């Protein structure tokens, strides 16, 4: 018997060869074959370990990257610090590298941006391709928005709506600054604007100061903005305490002849609240609403005027003044009034006669016409919804077809803007220019991305 601890005995018969001879795999051969696989198996285990570690690093980097994006959107001086913090969690995390490249482009450091975009995890992605082309075009373009728009068109309108690299779009309720930190260096008009912007942060002394300021101001946009926020407040005590004085001031300014349909409708609803059946319209209410339509304008101050005024107030006090000025524009539109009109009209339908329903339908259509003249996306959306509801009540087919066509068209514009990722590119200068263009005419701005007309 052999002293070899691994005995050379057959263990597994193999298929017989064509010559008829039978070959056997010995235990020694099987062991040697298995040992030969050991480096491969070890390599597979190492790969799995590395993949797991990378996944864990990227999971840590993801929230840090989104937080860093807010600093970059705000053009905050510490944006770079937060971007590098995300990259320390994962040095190859593509969304964080994209932020770094955007920050470098914003700072005019094209060479550094190109180097960052050449990183393996980012190179050749649609996002990197666009930024590289943008870096080439920007020096020869009049501004950021045209350079971006021309780049996007040249590349064939790539779709960034579901990009995994771009940060989430900024919601309008997000404050990219602390308004209360700027009170001391602000004048009285600026302080009021800052407080209305951050109304939910006003407590204690600030709470009573803003009540006094609102009782003195003649700014309808700021009062309507305050109404919108207090009326929608989740804090019942704040709503019950602050909403009445704001409404009193608005009624005082409205007088017997309100100068905007928005203000007239607000007064109308307040009078309606005093009735027991305030949720439903009757024939007298329809006559009152028709009388209101003699007022030609929805609101007294245009989106662009209010935007420019608010931006001037916030400039030098807040980071991303355009972002915050646009929020003030949206609040001042008083869209809850139009929505209340729509909901109450629908709730009143069953108690109205056929003729009254048609009358109500025509009124809703005309209110929609007034609101759509304001041209921002939220106003267009609400105006079309009023017109669609009006066409249903009036049973007038041409009106229904027109409103549905406008609804489909607006959806087409929305998808085009989302496809370009307009709200998601963390380039502060680009976003500020976008806000200015949207305030001037958001419908024209959206249409350009949908291939209708030039970018404003």
How deeply is 302 buried, as exposed, middle or buried, from its count of CB atoms within 10 A (0-12, 13-18, 19+)? middle
399-416 residue pLDDT tens: 889 999 999 999 999 999
227 with 334: CB under 8 angstroms?
yes
For residue 92, give the 3-state DSSP assignment: coil
384 with 403: CB under 8 angstroms?
yes
Q: For the residues 10-33, what does the mean pLDDT come to?
A: 44
Q: Does 317 have pLDDT greater than 70?
A: yes
211-250 residue pLDDT tens: 899 999 999 999 999 999 999 887 788 888 889 999 999 9
C-alpha Rg value of the chain to the nearest Å: 32
347 with 279: CB under 8 angstroms?
yes
The length of the chain is 456
Give the residue from 270, 306, 305, 303 showing the smallest Cα distance to 288.
Answer: 270
333-366 residue pLDDT tens: 999 999 999 999 999 999 999 999 999 999 999 9
Joined tokens for residue 312: 């001037």
Q: For the residues 36-65, what does the mean pLDDT come to?
A: 74
422 with 434: CB under 8 angstroms?
yes
pTM assigned to the model: 0.87
Adjacent-strand bridge partners of 12: 25
Adjacent-strand bridge partners of 134: none
Joined tokens for residue 16: 């017989």
Give the residue from 263, 283, 285 showing the smallest Cα distance to 272.
Answer: 285
33 with 64: CB under 8 angstroms?
no
């Amino acid at each position: 018997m052999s002293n070899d601890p691994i005995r050379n005995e057959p263990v597994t018969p193999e298929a017989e060869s064509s010559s008829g001879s039978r070959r056997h795999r010995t235990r020694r051969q099987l062991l040697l074959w298995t040992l030969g696989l050991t480096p491969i198996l070890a390599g597979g285990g190492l790969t799995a370990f590395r993949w797991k570690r990378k996944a864990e690093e990227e999971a840590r980097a993801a929230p840090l990257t989104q937080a860093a994006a807010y600093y970059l959107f705000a053009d905050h001086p510490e944006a770079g610090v937060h971007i590098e913090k995300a990259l320390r969690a994962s040095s190859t995390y593509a969304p964080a590298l994209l932020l770094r490249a955007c920050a470098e482009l914003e700072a005019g450091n094209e060479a550094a941006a190109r180097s960052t975009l050449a990183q393996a995890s980012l190179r050749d992605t649609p996002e990197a391709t666009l930024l590289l082309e943008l870096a080439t075009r920007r020096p020869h373009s009049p501004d950021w928005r045209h350079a971006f728009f021309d780049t996007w068109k040249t590349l064939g309108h790539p779709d960034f709506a579901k990009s995994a690299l771009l940060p989430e779009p900024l919601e309008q309720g997000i404050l990219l600054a602390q308004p209360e930190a700027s009170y001391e260096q602000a004048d009285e008009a600026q302080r009021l604007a800052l407080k209305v912007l951050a109304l939910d942060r006003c407590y204690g002394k600030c709470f009573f100061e803003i009540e006094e300021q609102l009782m003195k101001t003649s700014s309808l946009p700021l009062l309507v903005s305050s109404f919108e926020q207090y009326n929608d407040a989740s804090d019942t005590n704040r709503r019950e305490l602050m909403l009445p004085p704001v409404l009193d001031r608005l009624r005082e300014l409205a007088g017997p002849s309100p100068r905007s349909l928005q203000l007239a409708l607000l007064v109308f609803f307040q009078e309606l609240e005093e009735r027991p059946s305030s949720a439903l319209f009757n024939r007298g209410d329809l006559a009152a609403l028709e009388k209101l339509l003699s007022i030609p304008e929805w609101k007294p101050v245009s989106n662009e005027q209010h935007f420019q005024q608010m931006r001037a107030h916030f400039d030098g006090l807040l980071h991303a003044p355009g972002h915050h000025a646009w929020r003030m524009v949206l609040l001042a539109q008083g869209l809850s009034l139009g929505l209340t009109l729509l909901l109450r009209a629908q709730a009143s339908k069953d108690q109205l006669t056929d003729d009254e329903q048609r009358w109500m339908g025509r009124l809703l259509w005309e209110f929609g016409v007034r609101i759509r003249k304001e041209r921002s996306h939220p106003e267009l959306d609400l105006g079309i919804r009023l017109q669609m509801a009006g066409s249903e009540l009036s049973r007038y087919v041409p009106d229904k077809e027109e409103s549905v066509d406008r609804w489909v068209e607006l959806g087409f514009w929305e998808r085009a803007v989302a496809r370009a990722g307009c709200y998601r590119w963390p380039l502060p200068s680009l976003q500020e220019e976008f806000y200015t263009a949207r305030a001037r005419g958001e419908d024209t701005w959206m249409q350009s991305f949908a291939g209708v007309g030039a970018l404003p």
